[in-house]
Structure 1
Amino acid sequence: MKMAYDIDSGRRKYITSWRNSNDPSPGDFNWRIENEGLPELVIRRGKMKLFRSGVWNGLYFSGGPPTPNPIFKPKLVFNQERLISISEIFNSSKLVRFTLETSGTLRRYTMNARRKKWIPVYENPLDPCEEYGQCGPNGMCRIDKAVRCECFKGFAPKFQKDWDHQDWSSGCTRIKQLNCENGDGFLEVRGVKHPDMLQHSLNTSMSLKECKDECLRNCSCVAYANPYITNGGSGCLMWFGELVDTREQPGADSMQNMYIRLPESELDSSIDLEKKEKKRPIELILISIASGVLVSGLINGSILLMTKRKRRGRNNEDVELPVFKFVTIVAATNDFSGENLIGQGGFGPVYRGCLLAKGQIAVKRLSRTSGQGLEEFKNEVMLTARLQHRNLVQLLGCCIEGQERMLIYEYMHNRSLDYFVFDQNRRTILTWPMRLDIIMGITRGLLYLHHDSRLKIIHRDLKTSNILLDGNLSPKISDFGLARIFGENQSIARTKRVVGTYGYMSPEYAIDGKFSVKSDIFSMGVVILEIVSGKKNWRFNHHDHYHGLLGHTWLLWKENRFLELMDECLKDTLIESQMKRCVQVGLLCVQKFAEDRPIMSSVVFMLGTDGAILPEPKEPGFFMERSSSTVGSCISTSMMSQKESMTITDLEAR
């Protein structure tokens, strides 16, 4: 079917829901093209708007994913910048069905020919932030926050008591009214789905600078933006009145921004401080760290740096990393406000922030009570700055000032993997194809660390919570504070300071302090089995035994009952052969003896090759029944005592 909205020919075609599951007569909901100067796709119930895709920005609908879906490929037909029809290209290798359900939900299905079953692959609205006007006028929806609605800067909840009960429909109102005569300014809001064009003005030929000037001249103009992100941004879209249905858009193009009008008193004058930052090489960063301690430490650190430089020789270039001022990070995080707190780890709290030049950022602030300290901070700076891979989180810079130690990372819109996999509601978002893609992404990142980067890195703390997900749910390995560099011919090391997270540690590391690439591979195996099952390893409980997840998986594998391991929410999207391969590779990775485990290149090959004959796994590490309550706490206490001891590392040849 072709949807159409052609004013010249008078053609209008749209999709209507059934009245109910047994009555195909027209129901209450319809999905159509609407065009008020910029086209978008809208679901309505009668005259009530329930969902909008966001307007066409020249490349895609601004409220949708920027990358095309490999399963369905829409064909858009324009006439003088007006979308007049949309249809889907038929691909005989993939049979796709598209419905508007009686509930008003838009769903796409693909046919699994082997199972003769329709598999749901996509739906709208996908999350609460896609529900129209979720946060009321002048509010913005952020799906990654516990309290998903917030007011734009310069605005406050219209009825605070409603907001306290998480009823955001009344929206926000200005704290200080605009004063056109005394001058106003604009606040840039980056990476958003633009508000609905309820009252607007559109000029497709203006530049952004001309648009700003035009908005300033019109006292009724409350915001402006480039409607198109093509060619570096073009056109002028101005809003008048309330800003409705705005959301933070994960994965949005860096040009998809808007500029909200505020009194100058409401604008943060410190926002330009970041422009004055300078880059410094890592060696200077390390010296700055040492300068905060004792003079003797500075001297010893300098000697150590000189020694390292001599060993590296001239072939290894110094890595430069931006050093941000403390006042810049304070401004970016709104003085480390509780609203911007997005996580808490062993290093310390993690805050979301926004820098003019970098966009959204994540700030890890070293806590003075943290179990980790200067050594881990220095280690993460040295390692992460030198590593570049699409499946590793990117370090943007650091802040070293007084007693403050902070790391500034790219912001991951979808938090960490455990936020989805272990949550009863959010886990349904991760279909089987998504989980397999996440597994493959993690293994490619680990392959880079072990084999393909200039440095051979052992992560030592690979776990589900250290896998971050970007706006497209692509995985990125994070947290290199405990990582270690191995020499080219080095295969194993031993430490008396066993650090990490129990449940992901290999037996040889947890018991004897020995670590190698095979330690990381054990952790990778645990992560694979957790992704497949949706269950945590160490906190796993079963009514028939007291084994952890590894032991439970082993028992099921031996009885050819591996399908029972599957997360129940995957039953409609699962491909059995792929799941079996993942379970088998996971068990191969967690085998008791390090020499039995595969290397990372073999793991990637086995996971990515259909029909490959895989070896049978042997008994996993820690295959022993625990007591129902005491064993975990005893081992955890033992680990804590080891964390407090001095690190003494011995290298062993093999």
Structure 2
Amino acid sequence: MAGKLKIHGRLLYNMWLHLLYSSLLLITTAIIVSTAEDTSTFQSIADGETVVSTGATFELGFFSAGASKSRYVAIWYKKIPVATIVWIANRDTPLTGSSGILKVSSPGILVLVDQKNTTVWSSNTSSSAQNPVGNLVVIDGNDHNDTQKYLWQSFDYPGDTLLPGMKLGRNKITGFNWHLTPWKSPQDPSPGNYTYQLGPDGYHELIVREGSVIKYRTGPWNGIQFSGMHNLNSDHTNKYGFVLDDDEEVYYGYKLLNSSILSRLALTQDGLLQSYTWSDETQGWVLYLTAQVDICDSYGLCGPNGACSVENSPVCGCLEGFTPNFRQDRDLVDWSYGCVRKTPPSCSGDIFKKYSGMKLPNTEQSWYNSSMNLKECEMMCMNSFCSCTAFANLDVRDGGRGCLLWFSDLIDIRYSTGSGQDVYIRMAASELDQGSNTDTNAKTSKSNVKKVRIIVTSTVLSTVLLILGLTLLLYVWKKQHQKDGKPRPSQKEDMELPLFDLAAVVRATNSFSNDSKLGEGGFGSVFKGTLKDGQEIAVKRLSKHSTQGLNELKNEVTHIAKLQHRNLVKLLGCCIQEDEMMLIYEFMPNKSLDFFIFDQRKSMMLDWPKRFDIINGIARGLLYLHQDSRLRVIHRDLKASNVLLDSGFNPKISDFGLARSFAENETNAKTKKVVGTYGYMSPEYAIDGFYSTKSDVYSFGVLVLEIVSGKRNRGFTHPGHSLNLLGHAWMLCTEGRSIEVLDTSVGDSSDPHEVLRSIHVGLLCVQRNPADRPSMPAAVVMLSGEGSLPQPQKPGFYSERDLNELEVDPSSKAFSANEVTFTLMEAR
């Protein structure tokens, strides 16, 4: 049998390369490319001793990745200037010598051998009838008809790239699995730790895993799109499809609506799914779509029976009829434990609550039938006793058809406007909201409804009467005590915080001795103390000469006493006695962040992993303040000296004396009393008095660049220009030299990818226009590597001169010493 090697082009299907060998003598014609004389990274096979057709979209040849000397056989785009690999033959077994030979041997097997004639890689001969573009195939050389089955094709073995016409799925007969794996690194194309493939169990959906851990899933296909990919509606370049053949294959794929467009889907080294199109105008690849777009795309973020919505704060909540599964050792912002039912289903007479616009739950524990209608699906679920927890249509077209049932906790649900669908979730009839029974299939009788109404009405009336009676008694009691000359509740009681005795604090701090002093700020001095039981504390003592006073102290207590998060400093209590006003905090043995990063010797104690953990910890603390706390809090004075470090160098945001809280429907405010610290304040706040969560984002961006560089934004100097740290970092970014921002004391501990990403996120956060800055949820996602990064615009306060102009206003009563907080009485 003869064999033929063929490459299909995107635009010209008549472009093909074949290697013929005699079926009688079994003589093979080899493609030989010597790499000993290579002077460029990429070399087309046509440049060597080969016979190859030209004019196609793709080329086959040998290449090296980055600075690596290892050689691979690959396919890449031919007519674009950006070298883009779409398929590699020998990902796991690179050539290490000076030459390689790719040949076709009997019976139609591709073989790659090194200079010692040792087999490095070979193909198998699994058949396929597919005729896609950009594909390398081996066909029977005795028949030149393109409609025949291929002996082997590259599209059956995708790497990190999915091209139009390729499959993601599996062959049910052979068990063959089409899936994507990313490169391990830019210099190493061997498979990384992520996979993108069809889920092995239950109904079919595509899943991104890191090792065996699910990181993202698309949701099941509903006949139009995946229920969890809410950005496919905006794609006017590609047409997506899902083929479900119960007897043979199930797979996902897409095709171009315009054949002149170059398009590819890639799985990045961070596990992100990103679709790119080629731009002739910019001569580069343009990010068209990203599958993971926000924090709710993180798999299982809200735990079992929890639902995620980016429009809510916090983003996680429980479904109706469920309550948070709190535990004593659980962080209140950690929803991984999910929700549990308030009332278990009775197994008969239950109802199904309809939720619309939802990403359907994980389908690993599901059952499906394509012929049932929705009513039959409901009856099937109802008759499955208590084991069936929810049901939905398989296909939403033409009014809906098919049945999908769940038999366990509901995992990874989100509100998905534009792509979600209806799902019916089982609950006990007693949990039914009678006002919403138009969206349910209730099985309760009219008599039960009347009984419930009577009980609820009588309970409400009794409660109201009880509250009125207690209120009247409390009023009379207060009046009587005022007549008797007894004092009203004091400011101490208003604090709702443990009060420390002055004598105990004086004893703990050794009478506020200099040996106990940790530092000082705008509020006053901070002292270390040890209580009688051995607990170490930090005492923040109001200075008699401080411009801050009781209002700032009460403001700090009001905000931080109600906030609990691992990245916020814990307030233990306060002391207001005689002429003293003090706040008592947990003690942080490693002092503040500025104590380390701005000291050439101490900064060596913060290697890159510690710095990156600190950046992420600060980001999570701000995310909690802005979104997940009971109050939407704007810190307004985030800086290195207000980030404390515990014994493990975990960061904790402190000093809430200048903080302000927003109501749920508020997003920004304006003040004539501008407070903050030069170098960390956003332009719109320092100049016009406008502040919002984006003001804190700006401060966070400054802090990120200071942590990476080990340099202060204020007072930064460079022999080549007069820019501050922000301007310096932005200039290097535009020149492709961002890595030069990194503090040299970090040494070899740095991860270049994390460093460059941190710098990029920092520059995005300090852009002049607040609307251009990311929110803290978005910044957290960006830092973790989830999402594409746009190019940052010029920072606000680009040079030192910008900041100096703020200090020369004679009408302002401002002061700034090093990094001490200042107050501007009138905004300019």
| TM-score scaled by length of structure 1 | 0.49
Bigger helix fraction: 1
Q: Which has the higher contact order (CA 8 A, sep 6+)?
A: 1
| TM-score scaled by length of structure 2 | 0.39
